[in-house]
Structure 1
Amino acid sequence: MTAAATATGPAGDAAGDVAGEAAHDAGEAAHDAAGAAAGGGTGLRVPLRRRRFRLLYAGQCLSRTGDFVFQVSLAGYAVTAGNPALLAYTLFGQATGTVLMLLVGGALADRFGARRVMLWADAARVLATAGVAAQVAAGGQHVWAIAACGLLLGLGDGAFEPAFTLAFTELLPKTELLAANALQSIALRTAGIAGAALGGVLLAAVGAAGSLALGTAGFTLALALVLVAGSWPTADRPPSGDGLLKEATGGIRYVFAHRWLWVSIGSFGVSVALVVAPAKALLPLASADVLGGGAGTYSLLVGSQAAGALLGGLLVGRLRRVPPGVLVFGGMTVVCAGFAALGLSPSVAASVGVALVVGAVLSAATVAWAATLQSRVPGELIGRVSSVDWLISLGVSPLALVAVPHLLGFGAPATVLVAASVIALAVSAATVLVPDVRRLAWPAGTAA
């Protein structure tokens, strides 16, 4: 036994923890070296051989499922209680909190490390969702209190997402980032399907308060698994001496200093603003006009897109010989063309096929973009650059949805969807032609 293992008292315990973590890191490095000598792992299994990533990934599978259970349960309660304002205010509070925290969330992750910020964020989300469950159990009379919990939930979301992006780069080599993001995409899509179904079952079985409480359990377990994983090595980041807001602007400065980055983020913003976000409101109306179907037809299209997204996460690794810039924005060009086709197709069968392709390609493009961002941005800036990326995507979504009713004054839903898709298609296609984007390359030995 080592001296650290036989030491007593707090100092001995701390020494034992450090020694244990160091031994684990050394063992993992030896395992990686042995794997590389034997030809390495293949496919999605590569990142999963790392204990800390496995724990983080398992936690996210649980928390994402709990998130969907929570959403379905809250919506079900609002409808049953005849109080749509409760749901609207809660979602508004969540969206507001997310956007506000994204302004500084990346700077927090870069300053304090991914693990610490994820623990703070998950703790906030546990408190927020538990607060909503408690309010509902008490009768849900105080809408302001539930909306405040929604704000806290959004603050947790805004802190968590850039930290989670950074965590991948702290736990994995660049060659495994594509596989890790593919796994994350699969988890998100599977959680959406399973969480929505589970939420409906729980709502009927134990009521809204019980269902919301079980949704809270997902965040609680994710928090516990990050704690179990223990601290992990991070790059030394000497304090800059700047305030948090000034540090946060470092991400913006870095984005605008690199043409491939600001062009890419801007192009994604256009696609989200013109197609991805408005389609949530336009596609149901367009499918009713063109296909003559109701809610069932739209549900079929959404389900097909979700199935395609799951398939895209599974297959993206087979496309790693395609340069990432071409894969991402060539894929977004296909996605925009697909939405235009959905606005024109008079056949339900053809629309289902197109929705399947749109989901698969959008998922693959998103996975490839996340891996590209993580592998090319310096580690000390990933949190802040990720915040900028999230802020553009999430910030334009509500604005785009608010614009939909006004746009419908100029044409039918299908016409508006097709026109917006064609414009976004042109922007995505032009992005592929930008030399800095087209010449992006994967790190040598990338696995997926």
Structure 2
Amino acid sequence: MTTVSAPTAAPHAPERPAHRDGNVLRWVGAYTASMMGDNIYFLSLSWAAVQSGTPAQAGLVTAVSAVPRTLLLLGGGVIADRFGPRRVVIGSDTVRCAAVLAVAALLFVTRPGLWPLTALALVFGTVDAVFMPAVGALPARITAPGQLARVQGMRGMAMRFANIAGAPLGGLGVALGGTAAAFTLAGLLIAVSVPLLISLRVREPAPDHAPGAGRTTPWRDLRDGLRYIRGHRVLAPLIAAIALGDLGFVGPLNVGLTLLADERGWGASGMGWVLAGFGTGAAVAALVLTVRGRLPHAGRLAGVTVLAGSAAMGALAYVPDLLAAVGAALLVGLLTGLSGFLAGALLQTQSDPAYLGRVSAVASLVSLGVAPLSMPLSAAAIGAWGTRPVFTVSAAVCALGGVVALYVRDLRRAQLPG
């Protein structure tokens, strides 16, 4: 497939704001449709697995996609850099769409049991291993560097919208037409992204900087990418800060929050209000970055907001009532959301575009491969010592990410262009 290259801008031409750039808006539309399809797919997969097997079997089906995704993610970064993120995202969404619609068709005519659901989960996990690094690398190819922070905010808003709208749509699909109809809806939404992605104009790195330009092997490309990250004065500490932040954040805000709500007697509705507070705060952070486009002293601000967000997260286990917990969760969402969007924008702007797929793969591996390990550990620790000590220790681990961001001079002084 031929890639359309964006024309080179004049040296002093003003940048077009991302929220007024049709190229960026097409990407946001494609990303939103794809993420909504993902949300409906996961809901449909869980429901179909529960209907076809035992709860334990359903849990295995929904978790099986994590294995190929984790194992193949670094290789996916190499593929994204070798073939270009636009081409990889188009191929990934095409495969995911075809796989979901194939299972939907099978469910319309028969009840085949768990095996097609397991196969679908494996396909999704494998494709995600190349899809996620390519998604992370694509924004730098479709807009100017000074607009990347705004694009991160727009991406955050798209994710929030997909999370809010996807689950009810999936539930409606299951209610009206069963799991086959819900899978069909998921596949059609993913299909919407493909023509939008095909229409994108992208910038390509110089041929002598592209992976594989010197007939290198994929293994050498991977080693070069890891060496590039390790030697970079901003990216290496930034990824370490992201790892610490996610490691301390994921456990308490997932399984820990459920146990906290049960301990305090808030019930499922109370937990829902706390999650709504968190989601609202994160949406406000995305909106701020979308409107402002650039925040000064990005590295320092990311470190400060991580520290403040960690304190708010630790306070969740000590607040006196549900209303205070919702307020604390709103602060957690706002502060950690802002730090996360700034970290994403710094990853985009500090990386050489030819390495962005591999940089995104390493960052995704940290978030999806390492951080989830804290969930069973948090659950076991809460069972042994209670919520307050675990939330406090987790907040301290998360705060270490902010300490790294403020301690390392090059990261602390990092700025966003514009």
Answer whether TM exceeds 0.5 for this pair.
Answer: yes
Q: For the residues of structure 2 that align with 1:114 and 1:341, how far apart are their CA atoms?
A: 41
Q: 2:205 matched to 1:232?
A: no
- Residues 426, 386 of structure 1: CA spacing in aligned structure 2 closer, same or farther, 3 A cutoff? closer
Q: Report the residue type matching 1:310 in the other structure.
A: A
| 1:323 Cα deviation after fit | 1.1
Q: For the residues of structure 2 that align with 1:186 and 1:288, how far apart are their CA atoms?
A: 30
| 1:237 Cα deviation after fit | 3.1
Q: 2:326 matched to 1:352?
A: yes
When the two structures are superposed, what TM-score results if normalisation uses the length of structure 2?
0.91
Which of 177, 186, 190 pairs up with 1:206?
Answer: 177
Q: For the residues of structure 2 that align with 1:364 and 1:398, how far apart are their CA atoms?
A: 21
Aligned to 1:5: none
Q: Structure 1, residues 39-62: CA drift from partner, whole Å, max 9, x if none?
A: x66xxxx11433332222211111
Aligned to 2:77: 106
Q: For the residues of structure 2 that align with 1:232 and 1:313, how far apart are their CA atoms?
A: 24
Q: Report the residue type matching 1:397 in the other structure.
A: A
Aligned to 1:57: 28
Aligned to 2:140: 169
Q: Structure 1, residues 359-396: CA drift from partner, whole Å, max 9, x if none?
A: 12222222111111111111111111111111111111
- 1:440 is paired with a residue whose SS is coil
Is the Cα–Cα contact under 8 Å of residues 86 and 147 in structure 1 kept in the other structure? no
| 1:82 Cα deviation after fit | 5.4
- Residues 321, 193 of structure 1: CA spacing in aligned structure 2 closer, same or farther, 3 A cutoff? closer
Aligned to 2:267: 294
Q: For the residues of structure 1 that align with 2:54 and 2:101, how far apart are their CA atoms?
A: 20
Aligned to 1:311: 284
- Residues 224, 308 of structure 1: CA spacing in aligned structure 2 closer, same or farther, 3 A cutoff? same
Q: For the residues of structure 2 that align with 1:214 and 1:29, how far apart are their CA atoms?
A: 40
Q: For the residues of structure 1 that align with 2:171 and 2:215, how far apart are their CA atoms?
A: 50
Q: Report the residue type matching 2:232 in the other structure.
A: H
**Equivalences for residues 237-316 of structure 1 within 5 A:** 237-238=207-208, 239-289=213-263, 291-316=264-289
Is the Cα–Cα contact under 8 Å of residues 141 and 204 in structure 2 kept in the other structure? yes
| 1:198 Cα deviation after fit | 1.3
| 1:325 Cα deviation after fit | 1.1
| 1:86 Cα deviation after fit | 4.9
Is the Cα–Cα contact under 8 Å of residues 250 and 375 in structure 2 kept in the other structure? no
Q: 2:91 matched to 1:117?
A: no
Give unpaired runs (5+ residues) of structure 2.
none
| 1:319 Cα deviation after fit | 8.4
Q: For the residues of structure 2 that align with 1:162 and 1:101, how far apart are their CA atoms?
A: 11
Q: For the residues of structure 2 that align with 1:172 and 1:319, how far apart are their CA atoms?
A: 13
Q: For the residues of structure 2 that align with 1:159 and 1:254, how far apart are their CA atoms?
A: 20
Which of 382, 385, 388 pairs up with 2:356?
Answer: 382
Which of 118, 123, 126 pairs up with 2:97?
Answer: 126
Q: Report the residue type matching 1:220 in the other structure.
A: A
Is the Cα–Cα contact under 8 Å of residues 148 and 349 in structure 2 kept in the other structure? yes
- Residues 123, 406 of structure 1: CA spacing in aligned structure 2 closer, same or farther, 3 A cutoff? same
Aligned to 1:6: none
Q: Report the residue type matching 1:360 in the other structure.
A: L
Is the Cα–Cα contact under 8 Å of residues 344 and 418 in structure 1 kept in the other structure? no
Which consecutive aligned stretches of 4+ in structure 1 deviate over 4 angstroms post-superposition? none
Q: For the residues of structure 2 that align with 1:383 and 1:168, how far apart are their CA atoms?
A: 11
Q: Report the residue type matching 1:306 in the other structure.
A: G
Q: Structure 1, residues 89-113: CA drift from partner, whole Å, max 9, x if none?
A: 3332221222123111111111111
Q: For the residues of structure 1 that align with 2:371 and 2:136, how far apart are their CA atoms?
A: 21
Which of 137, 140, 143 pairs up with 2:108?
Answer: 137
Q: Report the residue type matching 1:325 in the other structure.
A: G
| 1:118 Cα deviation after fit | 1.0
- 1:396 is paired with a residue whose SS is helix
| 1:422 Cα deviation after fit | 2.3
Q: For the residues of structure 2 that align with 1:353 and 1:378, how far apart are their CA atoms?
A: 40
Q: For the residues of structure 1 that align with 2:226 and 2:58, how far apart are their CA atoms?
A: 33
Is the Cα–Cα contact under 8 Å of residues 225 and 358 in structure 2 kept in the other structure? yes
316-325 vs 298-307, which moves further: 316-325
Q: For the residues of structure 1 that align with 2:331 and 2:114, how far apart are their CA atoms?
A: 41
Q: Structure 1, residues 261-295: CA drift from partner, whole Å, max 9, x if none?
A: 22221122122122224430011111322x32111
Q: How many residues align structurally? A: 412
When the two structures are superposed, what TM-score results if normalisation uses the length of structure 1?
0.85
| 1:81 Cα deviation after fit | 4.7
| 1:357 Cα deviation after fit | 1.5
Q: Report the residue type matching 1:309 in the other structure.
A: A
Superposition RMSD in Å: 2.4
Is the Cα–Cα contact under 8 Å of residues 287 and 343 in structure 1 kept in the other structure? no
**Equivalences for residues 150-189 of structure 1 within 5 A:** 150-189=121-160
| 1:162 Cα deviation after fit | 1.5
| 1:297 Cα deviation after fit | 0.9
| 1:140 Cα deviation after fit | 4.6
The percentage of aligned residue pairs carrying the same residue is 27
Q: Report the residue type matching 1:109 in the other structure.
A: A
Is the Cα–Cα contact under 8 Å of residues 302 and 402 in structure 2 kept in the other structure? no
Is the Cα–Cα contact under 8 Å of residues 93 and 148 in structure 1 kept in the other structure? no
